[in-house]
């Protein structure tokens, strides 16, 4: 008899412990939080898209810090046109894509960098003591002087590089000088010998 009643009270306890409707307010609170975060996020993007510069103080500061005059975004061009091969970190891939980080071609004469971007390269090229023989695509036909300058400046100031920015007027000078040439540079030897 005694045992039986103990058993009953255990069942009682168990039933009291069942989660009931009392716990419902918690999910609701969570949903409200998620919903307000979504609305906040959406409005943030909307402000950034349609009222550039007014969306947030941070983006205004970043814009004025990165470049005084509005123009093409070098970081964005790099991400869409270069990172697939040279990697987002500019480290390249050994034996396949040369590094931009610490590269003598990136940090050296700005004219050569403009030349590389305008025509591309096909042939043997040494970068930081390592030999490559791949194909660097030409961007003269797809990117404007300002865009080449923006992405050139970006690589000269990223990945630990500290070279001066690449000027759009310099890119234009090189484009004019190369004239109608469309064939890529035949490796490092031709690039070095070219005026």
Question: Could you list the residues that contact ligand HEC (CB under 6 A)?
Answer: 81-82, 84-86, 97-100, 103, 105-106, 113, 116-117, 121, 123, 125, 127, 132-137, 139, 151, 155, 187
By C-beta, is 59 or 91 nearer to ligand HEC?
91
* CA atoms of 144 and 130, how far apart (whole Å): 31
d(CA 43, CA 73): 23
Q: Give the nearest distance from C-beta 119 to ligand HEC in angstroms.
A: 11
Residues 6+ apart with CB under 8 A from 140: 117, 118, 119, 148, 175, 178, 182
Contacts of 55 (CB under 8 A, 6+ apart): 44, 47, 48
- Decide whether 86 or 149 has the Cβ nearer to ligand HEC: 86
Q: Which residues contact 127 (CB under 8 A, 6 or more apart)?
A: 92, 98, 99, 103, 104, 105
Residue number, 47 or 79, with CB nearest to ligand HEC: 79
Smallest gap from residue 78 Cβ to ligand HEC (A): 6
In the complex, minimum distance from the CB of residue 152 to ligand HEC, in angstroms, rounded to a whole number: 7
Q: Measured from the CB of residue 174, what is the shortest distance to ligand HEC in angstroms?
A: 14
Nearest to 140 by CA among 98, 97, 108, 183: 183
Of 195, 138, 145, 188, the C-alpha closest to 166 is: 145
Closer to ligand HEC by Cβ: residue 151 or 168: 151
Which CB sits closer to ligand HEC, 117 or 119? 117
Q: State in angstroms the smallest separation of the CB of 108 from ligand HEC.
A: 9
């Amino acid at each position: 008899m005694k045992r039986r009643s103990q058993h009953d009270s255990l069942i009682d306890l168990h039933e009291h412990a069942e989660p009931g409707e009392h716990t419902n307010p918690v999910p609701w609170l969570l949903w409200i939080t998620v919903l307000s975060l979504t609305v906040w996020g959406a409005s943030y993007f909307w402000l950034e898209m349609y009222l550039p510069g007014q969306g947030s103080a941070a983006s205004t500061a970043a814009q004025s810090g990165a470049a005084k005059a509005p123009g093409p975004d070098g970081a964005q061009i790099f991400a869409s046109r270069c990172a697939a091969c040279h990697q987002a970190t500019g480290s390249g891939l050994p034996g396949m894509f040369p590094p931009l980080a610490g590269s003598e071609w990136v940090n050296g004469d700005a004219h050569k960098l403009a030349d590389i971007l305008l025509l591309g390269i096909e042939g043997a090229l040494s970068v930081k003591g390592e030999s490559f023989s791949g194909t660097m695509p030409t961007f003269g036909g797809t990117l404007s002087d300002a865009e080449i300058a923006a992405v050139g400046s970006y690589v000269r100031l990223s990945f630990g590089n500290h070279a001066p920015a690449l000027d759009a007027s310099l890119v234009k000078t090189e484009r004019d000088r190369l004239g109608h040439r469309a064939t890529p540079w035949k490796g490092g030897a031709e690039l070095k010998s070219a005026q």
